[in-house]
A and B are shown apart, each in its own frame.
Chain A
Amino acid sequence: RDSLVAATWLPPTHMYSRYLYDYWAERVAHHSNGTLTAEVELGSPRVTALGNLSELADGLADVSGHFAQYTPSDLPVSNAVEELGMTFSDPRVIIAAATEFNIFDPELSAEWTRHGVVFGSSYATNHYKLVCNEPVTSLAEMKGAKLRLPGRAPAAWANSAGGVTVAFNTNEQYGALEKGALTCTTTTAVDAKARKLYEVAYHITDLPITLFWAGLGHGYNKDSWAELTADQRRAVLNAEADTIATFIVDGTLLAEQEARDSLAEEGVSFHEPTADLKESIEAFRKAQPTAAAEIAKSTFGIEDPESLLDRFQSTVNKWDDLLKDVPVEDKEAFAGLIRQEIYDKVDVEAYGLN
């Protein structure tokens, strides 16, 4: 096999298209010395948002991603772990920890095996923040504000803090913010810029609410993976390490800073939240591991949720330590750590082959 079809339904303009597909394809060609090429399809009808996991397993694409939140019942372990989302803050730590955990944790990696997909790498978003058409920085301003929230836990917090959760899809949020049917949506600065939300929502509250990582940055179709030679598999994993580092540093952290600067130029104000709002989310975060364990058990049917969540937490702690002294801009060091701690430990003669 000398080529892989890598397809995403995300549009060409999306950061994931740029880094997880175009850039990754370059790295694959580089590490394989041209013995393997990736044919990238962006905005591809081969895969869909909801069906991505099955479509990958069915072989409609050799490589693709999947957001686990879209199929909670298919991926109970992934979704159970992500219940901790609100308690984390550093996307670098999370993408590395999630990649390691998905490959090596028996309970989670079994989930991918069961679906006929070989886990390649994770993704991670930056913090989602409140992007509002009027300042929402305190509990008083939160009261009665109409909010669009990205998940169950953030919605539970917002409701407990007096907000009203409203149903709009991504296409509708611009109009809803403009006309006041929505006070705030919750997203990253990069996304607020890409979707031109700054035209209608000039206030961003500097309060990290949650981030996402559950699912696949890249998964591989099991059969396609098996058709690669061991050297090609090694080359692909090396490309994954470069991709993770570049995607999270250039495409996420630095892009967020750039987006903040350019939003500020567009007249958007970044507000410091008041103490009472911070305390409210802090209190919610403290209770979150217990709440997450309960939901992991009741909604996702995890037998021993405490053990699962503890295992993930200790992986996160490990990466917190490893990255403590690595400057954010140092992609090479980060990629090196990912290779050393994760991909070099993967046995390319066995991984994903049974």
Chain B
Amino acid sequence: MSEPLISVLLAFAALLCLIAIRVPIGLSLITVSFVGIAHETSLRAAIGSISRLPYELSTNWSFSAVPMFLLMGFVASETGLTKGLFNASRALLARLPGALACASVLASALFAAASGSSVATAASMSRIAIPEMLSRKYDPGLACGTIAASGTLGSLIPPSILMILYGVYADVSIGGLFLAGVLPGILSVVIYMTMIIVRCGLNPALGGAAADDEIQPFTRKLLFDIAPLPLLILIVMGSISLGIATPTEAGALGALGAVAIALASGKFRFAAFMRALKQSALSFTAIFIIVIGGALLTRYSAVVGLNRMLEDLFQHSAAGPLVLILAVSVLYIVLGMFIDSIGLLLLTAPLILPLAGSLDIDLIWFGIILIKLLEIGLITPPIGLNIFVIQSALDGQVRLPTIFRGVTWFIAMDILTLAILITVPAITLWLPSRFF
């Protein structure tokens, strides 16, 4: 084995060890990169990297959209939008097999349109939908798997923090990515629901048989509860499409809109707003530390020569676009088991994007494929962020292996969705081509 390869494998092993002893993921990445850069170049270069990159990264204007989309989601959640969405979806889908699970998928998809992050989507839906399903004797694996998987729609359906990060790195239009995510998001919803309906139809016990005795009518009150959502979507996507705001600025308008809606509906509470501001700051920082760690690990991979190794591999094998995408899929599904989606994106984008560019792959389409792949990583063992979020929201009522078993079906559906998106690029590219 070549020396760089040994160095990379050692770094990867060290990273896993640190994560295993519960060093925060961001700090683990920082530590391993620091040692790696110091070993490959010099201590001075390593110190310079860790003391300058964090400052430089955080002065990137495009990242300012991230706390805004987080705030929009938190305000929407604090003002009861999540609960309203769930109740309305439930009334609408009451007659289907596995009705509550289907309703959870729909409500998550709708909430995703107001939330930029998968984890935030999974967290806010899990507190409302999972206890409801468990009390109706739904299979715990199905209940948790549904929310874990539907939470990933938070990044696929715009607005999306991952798309912002990808857009910055790939230098492609963030507005275009937002539009490109819409149809793949809807496709994922349809596939998830079909799977739930078929499974619960064949095995009614999964969906808490005969528990859906009281079918609620779809009332005007429910309609009123979800009315703010189209408004928020209009503010965000409308201001981007009409050119009133750039995608970076649209985050601020969306958050402002969420506050305005809360004020107008009389649900604005100062304390809740303060809580949402602090929550946004905390979540953003927790994410950003991983962004910093990812950037440092990327630098380590450059000085150790990983980029060159990958480039050589692809150039010498004369690989075409499809081979690249398949290779990337395997790489992401494997690495996605261990590394969180943002870290993985930041880690690999600088290596993969030049390859994709040289093969004339459409970078918007490629971005959506990558995001779907990254989202699978959120629900695969052993490290699946959405799973942990759900587990902590439930205070350990459901055991981890049960949840991982429950998401297996959804992972299979994600792979099906991916196959469709890869073979039919038009699903992704049609909508942006209408506007851009």
Query: What number of residue pairs across chains A and B have CB atoms under 8 A from each other?
Result: 83
Instruction: Identify which of A11, A13, A46 gathers the most chain B CB atoms within 10 Å of its CB.
Output: A46
Q: What is the interface residue range for chain B against chain A?
A: 35 or more
Q: For A11, what are the chain B residues with a Cβ–Cβ distance below 8 Å?
A: 171, 354, 357
Contact check, B244 vs A181: say whether CB atoms are below 8 A apart. yes
Tell me whether chain B's interface is mostly helix, strand or loop, or mixed: helix
| A325–B222 alpha-carbon span in the complex (Å) | 81
Q: Do the beta carbons of B243 and A176 come within 8 Å of each other?
A: yes
For residues 38 through 54 of chain B, which have their beta carbon under 8 Å from a beta carbon of chain A?
Answer: 41-42, 44-45, 48-49, 52-53
Contacting residues, chain B, for A151 (C-beta < 8 A) = none
Name the segment of B71-79, B106-114, B131-139, B301-309 touching the other chain: B301-309
Whether A169 and B42, one on each chain, are in contact in the complex, defined by CB atoms closer than 8 angstroms, is no
Interface-lining segment among A49-57, A90-98, A273-281, A306-314? A49-57
Name the residue of chain A whose CB is nearest to the CB of B350: A45
A58 to B40, CA, bound (A): 13
Given A48-B53, A172-B248, A59 and B41 touching (CB < 8 A)? Answer: yes
Q: A58-B42, A172-B248 given as contacts; is B242 within 8 A of A179 (CB)?
A: yes
CB distance from B76 to the nearest CB of A (A): 26
Kindly identify, within residues 292 to 340 of chain B, every residue whose CB is under 8 Å from any CB belonging to chain A: 295, 298-299, 301-303, 307
Given A58-B44, A59-B42, the answer on whether A171 and B168 have CB atoms closer than 8 Å is yes
> Are A46 and B175 neighbours in the complex by a CB distance under 8 Å?
no
B173 CB–A CB distance under 8 Å: yes
Say whether A44 contacts B302, CB under 8 Å.
yes
- Which single residue of chain B is at the shortest CB-CB distance from A44? B302
CA distance A175 to B177 in the complex (A): 13
Chain A interface, number of residues (Cβ within 8 angstroms): 29
* Nearest CB in chain A to that of B56: its residue: A50
Q: Scan B242-282; emit 1 where CB is below 8 A from any A CB, else 0.
A: 11111110000000000000000000000000000000000
Q: Does A43 contact B (CB under 8 A)?
A: yes
Nearest CB in chain B to that of A70: its residue: B56
Cβ of B301 and Cβ of A171 under 8 Å apart? no
Interface of A is mostly: loop
Q: Are A174 and B173 in contact (CB under 8 A)?
A: yes
B141, CB-defined interface residue at 8 Å: no
A174: nearest residue on chain B (CB-CB)?
B173
A242 within 8 A of B: no
Q: Which residue of A is nearest B175, CB measured?
A: A175
> Which residues of chain A have C-beta atoms less than 8 A from B45's C-beta?
55, 58-60
A255 vs B172: C-alpha distance in the bound complex, in angstroms?
A: 24
Specify the chain A residue showing the minimal Cβ separation from B52.
Answer: A51
Question: Which residue on A lies nearest to B351, using beta carbons?
Answer: A45
Q: Is the CB of A50 within 8 A of B59?
A: yes
15 of the cross-chain contacts (CB-CB < 8 Å) are: A7-B302, A12-B357, A41-B302, A44-B302, A46-B302, A48-B53, A51-B52, A58-B48, A60-B303, A169-B61, A171-B171, A174-B173, A175-B173, A175-B243, A176-B246
Since A59-B45, A60-B37 are in contact, a sample of 5 more A-B pairs with Cβ atoms closer than 8 Å, ordered by chain A residue number, is A42-B354, A50-B56, A171-B173, A175-B175, A175-B240
Binding site for A on B (CB under 8 A): 37, 41-42, 44-45, 48-49, 52-53, 56, 59, 61-62, 167-168, 171, 173-175, 240, 242-248, 295, 298-299, 301-303, 307, 350, 354, 357-358
